[in-house]
Every structure is written in structure tokens, then in C-alpha cells.
């Protein structure tokens, strides 16, 4: 018999799906161009209202994410990093995410299960070969 799904387990599954989606969407580091191996939250994971928004993520290499003096973990709103963020999502989306990240949001298990399904659908879509339209 499968284990009962809890909010904690579904949040963990959503985190994994979100990370996979961001890394698939951004196969190269948004800062240096190396291969992406990590997904960075523009607004932190504590902000549940934006935690699983794909626009709230950037694909980064480990160096640019954690180790660079001006990397996203050390200086997330450094001028150069902000330019990367704004070039990626735009001023309007950044402002919207900033406002939403300050909202109090406590998702219930059914909401999280719906979110998990949505993220899985997005991941499946990102895995499909993309065709160019001419």
C-alpha cells in the first residue's frame, strides 16, 4: 500500500519538479554560460506564494550560484545580477513577483497536489522537442 501523501512530501516533490523545469528551461548558466546544474530562486523558498513559479527561477552553474563573490547566493541583488534577472523576466514580472513574495500563503494539501500536477505537466512540455515556426 502506498504511503499517504503529506504536505511536506508534496512540497518536496514540487521543489524537485520546479528545479528540473528551471534547469531544462535554462540549460546554460544565465550568468556565465556554462552548463546549468542548479536552480536559483530569485525570491527565496520561504516565500511560498512564489516558491514554485518558474519565472522565480534562474538556471546557474554551481560557481555563479554559491561561490562567486558576486554570485546569486552572496549578492543576489548586485547590479550585474539584477541586470540578468531583469533581462530574463522583465521589470513588470519582477515587480509582480516581488509583491507576491511578500504575501502570506499557506497552501493546503489539495492545492499542493494540483501544483505538483501542473509542474509535472510543465516538465513534460519542456522535455518535448521544440519545433521552430517559420
Domain borders along the chain are 16-104
Q: What is the mean pLDDT of the chain?
A: 91
Lowest-pLDDT range, 21-25, 64-68, 123-127? 64-68
Mean pLDDT of 71-86: 84
Mean pLDDT of 87-99: 95
Per-residue confidence band for 96, with pLDDT thresholds at 50, 70 and 90: very high
pLDDT tens, position by position, 53-66: 999 999 999 998 88
> pLDDT at position 3, please?
80
Q: Compute the distance between CA of residue 38 and CA of residue 12 in angstroms, rounded to an integer.
A: 16
Query: b/e for 11-40, b at 16 or more Cβ within 10 A?
Result: bebbbebbbbbbbbbbeebbbeeeebebbb
Residue 54, all three cell numbers: 518558474
Amino acid at each position: 500500500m502506498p504511503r499517504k501523501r503529506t504536505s511536506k512530501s508534496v512540497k518536496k516533490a514540487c521543489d524537485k519538479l520546479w528545479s528540473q523545469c528551471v534547469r531544462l528551461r535554462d540549460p546554460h548558466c544565465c550568468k556565465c554560460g556554462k552548463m546549468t546544474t542548479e536552480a536559483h530562486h530569485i525570491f527565496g523558498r520561504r516565500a511560498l506564494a512564489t516558491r514554485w513559479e518558474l519565472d522565480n527561477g534562474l538556471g546557474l552553474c554551481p560557481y555563479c550560484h554559491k561561490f562567486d563573490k558576486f554570485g546569486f547566493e552572496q549578492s543576489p541583488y548586485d547590479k550585474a545580477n539584477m541586470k540578468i534577472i531583469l533581462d530574463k523576466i522583465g521589470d513588470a514580472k519582477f515587480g509582480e513577483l516581488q509583491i507576491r513574495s511578500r504575501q502570506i500563503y499557506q497552501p493546503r494539501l489539495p492545492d499542493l497536489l494540483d501544483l505538483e500536477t501542473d509542474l509535472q505537466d510543465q516538465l513534460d512540455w519542456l522535455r518535448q522537442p521544440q519545433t521552430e515556426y517559420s
